[in-house]
Chain A
Amino acid sequence: MKKILKWIAIGVVCLIVVGFIAFLYLIPPFDMLPREAFSQPHAAAVASSLDKINDPVERALAKRGQYIMSISDCNGCHTPQGDQGPNWDEYLAGGAKFEMIKPGTAHSRNLTPDKQTGLTRRTDEEVKRVLRSGVFHDGRIFEPTFMPWPAFTNMTEEDRHALVTYLRHIKPIKHDVPEWSPNSSAPLNSFYPYDYAEHEKKK
């Protein structure tokens, strides 16, 4: 009787181990899921209703901006990632962490029109300057491998205007994103202009 129980116990343990391994092997992340599992939630999130906008010109601009935004994959970095892909409830709220040896650590910014933490703090010109020249509101330049602004700069000014109009009409989300922190141990490469403000102050 004891022997049988022992064997049963061993069998159960084996089953658990094999089951766990099989679970690990087969669990979806990414390559095992059907393709629509990625593209459909994306399409649904992007298709937030813009019909509420009263001004017809704003509405037309925002709709074009929405299309540009969705095919330029702004979500890829600016919508926080959960375990199973982007967290669509925090659409474009930023916060993805980028750690790099040379320039340091940056978090993708909150692009929603929130008054304290989002893009409402920036003028249209400031947002467009980022997209056009990679220059932040305080004069810092983006590392071009962080955000592909050298690609977005090829956009026409009119499309850029449409994109900014769209960003003004999405759902505001309060999400305070940490500021840039340069990597102090890295050699002070002139390419990363965080020393510039200090230099100006000394003057």
Chain B
Amino acid sequence: MKFFSRGMVLFFAGTCWIGLGNYLLSSPADPNDAAQASLGKTIFDARCSPCHGISGKGDGAASALLNPRPRNFTSGMFKFRSTESGSLPTDDDLMTTVKNGLYGTAMSDWAPFITGDSLKAVVNYMKTFSARFQNEKPHPVHISSQIPSSAASIVAGKKVYAKLQCANCHGTDGAGAGVIAKDFKDNWDFETNAVNLIEPWTFRGGSSARDIYLRFRTGVDGTPMPSYAGTVSEKEMWDLANYVVSIGRKPVWKMNENEIREFYAKLDAQAKADPVERGKYLVRTIGCASCHSTYTDDLRLVEGTQLSGGLTFDLYPFGKYVARNLTSDMETGLGNWTDQEIKRAFTQGISRDGRKFLPFPMAWPAYASMKEDDQNAIVTYLRTVPAVHHKIPDPEKPNIFSYLWGKFRMLILKERIPSPAYPMKEATEQQPVSQISPSATKNFAARADREKEARP
């Protein structure tokens, strides 16, 4: 026993003690950390999960209709950073995004509602979705001193725009004129567009020269926009930023009488010239897909079923109606319908076979006020939607007694049936909203495969 001297025993004991102390200090059992994590989760679940999903995968209830899609935090890839291409964003970057929102997207500016500790907590919670944040450190870029905008700098910037072939994606005028590529996919397989450079209020990460400089310098990860670090000099990047700032046009809220008249005339002309784009815009903003899609039992839109119908409305005593398939499938969709028949259906509520729609939930009385050009645009766009084979059952009418009893309740007893809320109530209470047929599932899978193959 002489081998272990008293000193050595003390030394070992001390080492263990220090080690234990270190362990305790660094352990996550720290009550402050736990409180912050729970606060972060509460805020995230309440405010972020409707779009980003409870598990941060970008698959929240609202996600299927949004363009661009909400960020998938599990991939650890972020678009708007002040760090090198491919690197993680700094905490400040994430906080800026939460505070200011992303202009031109559904991401709200949370500054009035999430501040101080709450902001830090939610950003820290967001970072737990990807393992990258534990293993890597962000590499902030060195931002060189800003070159103030001047006529010379703008001219130089224009040359850089040509040299870097920005026009290939953003168009010669910055607004997409004469582009060679329009249909981009991002790393998450969703459609993405080159930003319209003459509308600075839609620049996601802000429209100051510094913000624009950062987008060239860092790239927009996950999209075809690369980082130009090393390709051009720092001065050229600032010139380019000054040039992009200089080509921004006036938004409608700053226009005068003549400008706004010309602007709206131009929009109408554009809509006529490119009906597919206009139709896509109308179909998306009106939200055709919010009903003409398949939903799960807890009212989540099934990804990939957009516009192929399936949501059931139980409108007792008028029957059970299922939203129709609007894709260009010959048998189950609109493939066989003439333009006139489609227009009559959504403006007069008369189906191809002469069946009359109720005035709701299909809002054809509202669409009746649509301009002829817009009606044509919608038809043109719907023809371009890839066909999905999804057979929709015909409306189920109740038997005559049930129908009369329902009308009696409605007209004499003044019960409020059917009300727009009725189908939603039914759906969450008793029965699934709709069933996807096996053939439909197969078709969605096949469609996804086809789209994947078509991509380079």
Which of A46, A150, A157, A161 has the most chain B CB atoms inside 10 A of its CB?
A150
Cβ proximity bits A123-160 to B, threshold 8 Å, 1 near / 0 not: 00000010011110001010111001111111111110
Q: A96 to B419, alpha carbons, bound, how many Å?
A: 9
Segment with Cβ contacts to B, from A72-80, A112-120, A168-176: A72-80
Judged by a CB distance under 8 angstroms, whether A99 is at the interface is yes
Q: Which residues of B contact A133 (CB under 8 A)?
A: 101, 106-108
Whether B428 and A39, one on each chain, are in contact in the complex, defined by CB atoms closer than 8 angstroms, is no
Segment with Cβ contacts to A, from B8-16, B234-242, B280-288: B280-288
Interface residue ranges of A177-203 to B (CB < 8 Å):
190-191, 193, 195-196, 199-200, 203
Q: Which residues of B contact A156 (CB under 8 A)?
A: 202
Judged by a CB distance under 8 angstroms, whether B195 is at the interface is no
* A191 touching B287 in the complex, CB below 8 Å, given contacts A42-B368, A71-B369, A158-B252: no
Judged by a CB distance under 8 angstroms, whether B410 is at the interface is yes
Q: Which residues of A contact B64 (CB under 8 A)?
A: 150
From B50, B285, B365, contact of A154 by CB (8 A) = B285
Whether B366 and A76, one on each chain, are in contact in the complex, defined by CB atoms closer than 8 angstroms, is yes
- How far, in Å, is A157 (CB) from chain B's closest CB? 6
Q: Which residues of B contact A71 (CB under 8 A)?
A: 282, 286, 366-367, 369-370, 374
Q: A60 to B256, alpha carbons, bound, how many Å?
A: 10
Whether B108 and A135, one on each chain, are in contact in the complex, defined by CB atoms closer than 8 angstroms, is yes
Judged by a CB distance under 8 angstroms, whether A21 is at the interface is yes
Q: Which residues of B contact A (CB under 8 A)?
A: 39, 42-43, 45-47, 49-50, 54, 61-67, 101, 103-109, 112-113, 117-118, 201-202, 251-253, 255-257, 260-261, 264, 281-282, 284-287, 289-290, 298-299, 318, 347-350, 356, 358-361, 363-371, 374, 400, 403-404, 407-408, 410-411, 414, 416, 419-421, 424-425, 428-429
Q: A135 to B105, alpha carbons, bound, how many Å?
A: 13
Which of A73, A134, A203 has the most chain B CB atoms inside 10 A of its CB?
A73
Whether A191 and B290, one on each chain, are in contact in the complex, defined by CB atoms closer than 8 angstroms, is no
Whether A151 and B289, one on each chain, are in contact in the complex, defined by CB atoms closer than 8 angstroms, is yes
* A152 touching B46 in the complex, CB below 8 Å, given contacts A60-B264, A139-B113: no
Q: Which residues of A contact B112 (CB under 8 A)?
A: 139
Number of inter-chain CB pairs below 8 Å: 207
- How far, in Å, is B35 (CB) from chain A's closest CB? 9
Q: Which residues of A contact B62 (CB under 8 A)?
A: 134, 144, 149-150
Q: Which residues of B contact A29 (CB under 8 A)?
A: 407, 410-411
Q: A141 to B366, alpha carbons, bound, how many Å?
A: 27
Whether A101 and B425, one on each chain, are in contact in the complex, defined by CB atoms closer than 8 angstroms, is yes
From A81, A152, A203, contact of B39 by CB (8 A) = A203
Whether A101 and B429, one on each chain, are in contact in the complex, defined by CB atoms closer than 8 angstroms, is yes
Which of A38, A199, A203 has the most chain B CB atoms inside 10 A of its CB?
A38
Judged by a CB distance under 8 angstroms, whether A162 is at the interface is yes
From B108, B253, B348, B408, contact of A161 by CB (8 A) = B253
Closest Cβ neighbor of A197 among chain B residues = B46
Chain A interface: which size bin? 35 or more
Q: Which residues of A contact B255 (CB under 8 A)?
A: 57
- How far, in Å, is B32 (CB) from chain A's closest CB? 13
Q: Which residues of A contact B403 (CB under 8 A)?
A: 25
Judged by a CB distance under 8 angstroms, whether A9 is at the interface is no
Whether B47 and A193, one on each chain, are in contact in the complex, defined by CB atoms closer than 8 angstroms, is yes
Q: Which residues of A contact B (CB under 8 A)?
A: 21, 24-25, 27, 29-31, 35, 38-39, 42-43, 46, 56-57, 60-61, 64, 67-68, 70-73, 75-77, 81, 83, 85, 96-102, 129, 132-135, 139, 141, 143-145, 148-159, 161-162, 190-191, 193, 195-196, 199-200, 203
Whether A191 and B61, one on each chain, are in contact in the complex, defined by CB atoms closer than 8 angstroms, is yes
Whether B348 and A196, one on each chain, are in contact in the complex, defined by CB atoms closer than 8 angstroms, is no
Q: Besides the contacts A30-B318, A35-B349, A43-B368, what 14 more A-B pairs have beta carbons closer than 8 Å?
A: A30-B359, A38-B364, A56-B257, A57-B257, A72-B366, A76-B363, A133-B107, A134-B62, A134-B106, A150-B64, A150-B65, A157-B251, A190-B54, A191-B50
* A83 touching B419 in the complex, CB below 8 Å, given contacts A100-B425, A100-B428: no
Q: A156 to B285, alpha carbons, bound, how many Å?
A: 9
Whether B428 and A196, one on each chain, are in contact in the complex, defined by CB atoms closer than 8 angstroms, is no
Whether B281 and A100, one on each chain, are in contact in the complex, defined by CB atoms closer than 8 angstroms, is no
- How far, in Å, is A137 (CB) from chain B's closest CB? 9
- How far, in Å, is B45 (CB) from chain A's closest CB? 3
Whether B424 and A193, one on each chain, are in contact in the complex, defined by CB atoms closer than 8 angstroms, is no
Could you list some 11 contacts between A and B, CB below 8 A?
A25-B403, A39-B364, A100-B425, A135-B47, A135-B113, A148-B65, A150-B65, A158-B252, A159-B285, A190-B45, A191-B54
Q: Which residues of B contact A144 (CB under 8 A)?
A: 50, 61-62, 65
- How far, in Å, is A129 (CB) from chain B's closest CB? 6
Which of A57, A83, A149, A162 has the most chain B CB atoms inside 10 A of its CB?
A57
Q: Which residues of B contact A145 (CB under 8 A)?
A: 61, 290, 299, 424
- How far, in Å, is A127 (CB) from chain B's closest CB? 13
Q: Which residues of A contact B42 (CB under 8 A)?
A: 190, 195-196, 199
Q: A73 to B287, alpha carbons, bound, how many Å?
A: 10
Q: Which residues of A contact B285 (CB under 8 A)?
A: 68, 72, 151-152, 154-155, 159
